[in-house]
Structure 1
């Protein structure tokens, strides 16, 4: 990855920092972000989370250190490991002074609770499509311009098709309810009882023992019964 240029810094950093952006400033930033293994990650995160500088007065070196610390945190490393990788000289100084593990852990905890690291970590959980909404709109504008002005018919058609795909309104999903009645013993018993009752009513009508009107007005009474043994 190439070095961060003055132009890139002016676009990425808040206005209050732009007055100090020079070639020397850019060189210093690139030097501080340089690392055999993590240069690209540091640089990407330095540019991605620069909006946190809008809220508060932070020195650029403080922001750079916070970017490094949070980069390691986002890679799944522990607080102490991230701190050691960000501040190796400070950690060695703690050891030289005879700090215990508990005392070093306390220093790490204080830094981890700081406003700048937490602001970066909070922003890191925001989906990238939200952070880059302005780029999303710019991409749409470019496609729209190509659709209208490109000399190639294929380019115009491809641009139009891409716009139709990406600007398609969300589909309305229909909710289907399963209201089927599942069979159980009580329902089966009721069906059997009604079938037997209907058969007996038809028999009464056929034998002239009841009329259709009588059957229609028959009341069904719920009752319990028990068998009695013959004495």
Structure 2
């Protein structure tokens, strides 16, 4: 059955890989992102998701045009800062971008999904929730998305709507590579924490998300799926 999914932060990286996968599987995709991309496979709407008013207006308008079956809260913002230098303004920016659009998107789509008795909500968390330097704000926001998933799953358990989180490890996106080029200290540091000895690919993260959006995942709710090459369980023994 063809369904319609909303993806925030859809113009690049994991969001774009997921959009392409869902389109290949016969679904319709509406993406939200600050900047347009010429090769987006579905409908891409330009909006600053840090702007609550603009986000609310776009979601209200889209809800009149599309019958959404689910949402993937993928948009994120990272502002790396050490504890002693952490600025409250930067902390608030990270929390706002990672959390406010997720809540707004779910609230906008919830009435329709509840009415139809079917829905999927997937929140994109991060391996950093287990601890990471210079990630006080980002890790806290991503941990909150895990908490959202568990609380919402309980509230919606009898409605036909499932809520889960996907927690990627180091993933080879354009942004990741820009900050950690081949042969760099950053690359070596990240690889040292992945037992499989390689980075994830956006398509591999997208595959896990797509499964949670499917009919086959109907009995899975309130869970966090780590897609991280084993990084969340420890280092490989040699």
Q: TM-score, normalised by structure 2?
A: 0.22
Q: Answer 1 or 2: higher relative contact order, Cα 8 Å, separation at least 6.
A: 2
Alignment TM-score, normalising by the size of structure 1: 0.22
Which structure has the bigger radius of gyration?
A: 1
| Structure (1 or 2) with the greater helix fraction | 1
Structure with greater strand share of residues: 2
